[in-house]
Amino acid sequence: MIVVNSRFLTKEMAGIVRYASEITPHIKNLCKETIFVSHKGIIQNDLSNTLGAIEVGKLKGYLWEQLELPLFLKRIGNPILLNLCNTGPCFYKDQITVIHDVAFIKDPSWYTRKAALAFKVIISRAAKVSKRIITLSEFTKREVMQYLKIPSEKIEVVPGAVPQIIVSLSKKEYENNFGKYILTVSTLQPRKNISSLIKAFNLLSENNLKLVIAGSGNERVFPDPYINHNNPNIILTGYINDMELTALYKNAALFVYPSYYEGFGFPPLEAMTCGCPVLVSNNSSLPEICGDHVYYFNPADNNNLVEELKKLLNGVNNLNRSEYKLNGNGHSWEKSAESILDLIKKRNLIDVSSYA
């Protein structure tokens, strides 16, 4: 039996929540005896019904994860616990934890003081007691080894893939509501470096060009998540659904991802899948994940960003957008789920009879 820590079902669809939401149906399909457990307050009701998720306990958030989840696991015989979103119980040893990045240690100023401290304590401790750690890139594996002092043999790399809903919706055509625009998609937080993109955009001379920023902030986790500007050609959409997101990818003149630090980076892959030319930072995991399918710039050099924007925007009308289409990144969610379950099976952490 495997129990999946399904606290992600109580959160909006973005970032690591997207990862968990994509991979869990495949885990359920491959291992029928998997149990999906969350605290109260599930908002992803369709996915919850698909998984047959159950709500346990009275607490919420980290308190539930640290107190009531381990008690539930003890009552049912201490099965293997799979944590898909960085955190897990600090004192439960029969667990596997997916760590997406260690940004909270790399630069704590990217978070509120409370969030950075909580992540450092919980993720560091959960990583040490976990039987295995999974990362989505070789870059993050190296970061986990360096900053969390986890030995290489304890870490497995299992890449993510393009969200299936984006792949499906990318086959349709959508009305362009903004004309010619640059697009970026991310949560509004300091390490995403949206402020540099705004500065660069303000230096461009195209009067009818717009900058569309899709995403929302979380002031409990990220300091000053709100983007201030006085340019009417800069549009903040806030949180949007998958169809709206795909429409933005499909019609954008250029997708830009100026992040200082990424453990994987789903938006560039989504943009490529929708046939959008992509410009990304030349750091962290992005060259590993995006390969030679994109253009790169130095996120610490705003002049370099301005130069690349001008060059690509001037030539964008002559580019064959279909050349930028990418069939995922050579991976699939089913393959990723298989890899995780194979890891569990090979380490004799579950009865192999439960793994179809």
What DSSP state is assigned to residue 182? E
The pLDDT of residue 351 = 44
CB 38 within 8 A of CB 4: no
Which residues lie closer than 8 Å to 23 by C-beta, 6 or more apart? 84, 160, 333, 336, 337, 340
Q: By mean pLDDT, which of 17-31, 179-193, 233-247, 323-337 is the weakest? A: 323-337
List, for residues 207-259, the tens digit of each pLDDT value.
Answer: 899 999 998 766 555 555 556 678 899 999 988 999 999 999 999 999 999 99
The pLDDT of residue 293 = 85
Query: Could you tell me the domains of the chain?
Result: 2-161+331-354 (3.40.50.2000), 164-324 (3.40.50.2000)
Look over the chain and give the mean of its residue pLDDT values, rounded to a whole number.
90
313 by DSSP, 3-state: which? Answer: helix
The pLDDT of residue 233 = 93
List, for residues 98-142, the tens digit of each pLDDT value.
Answer: 999 999 999 999 988 999 999 999 999 999 999 999 999 999 999
The pLDDT of residue 216 = 78
DSSP notation for 41-94: ----HHHHHHHT-EE-SS--HHHIIIIIHHHHHHHTT--EEEE-SS---TT--S
pLDDT higher than threshold 90 for residue 23: yes
The pLDDT of residue 228 = 65
The pLDDT of residue 328 = 47
CA 229 to each of CA 129, 179, 197: distance values in angstroms, whole numbers, following the listed order: 45, 20, 12
- Mean of pLDDT values over 173-192: 93
Output the six-digit token pair for 34.
Answer: 């998997």
Q: Do β-strands 132-135 and 95-98 pair in parallel, antiparallel, or remain unpaired?
A: parallel
pLDDT higher than threshold 60 for residue 322: no
The pLDDT of residue 221 = 59
List, for residues 35-53, the tens digit of each pLDDT value.
Answer: 999 999 999 999 999 999 9
pLDDT higher than threshold 60 for residue 24: yes
Output the six-digit token pair for 102.
Answer: 């260690």
CB 320 within 8 A of CB 212: no
CA 38 to each of CA 18, 54, 56, 303: distance values in angstroms, whole numbers, following the listed order: 16, 6, 6, 47
Output the six-digit token pair for 145.
Answer: 């080894």
pLDDT higher than threshold 80 for residue 263: yes
CB 88 within 8 A of CB 130: yes
Rounded Cα gap, residues 116 and 112, in angstroms = 6
Output the six-digit token pair for 132.
Answer: 């295995």
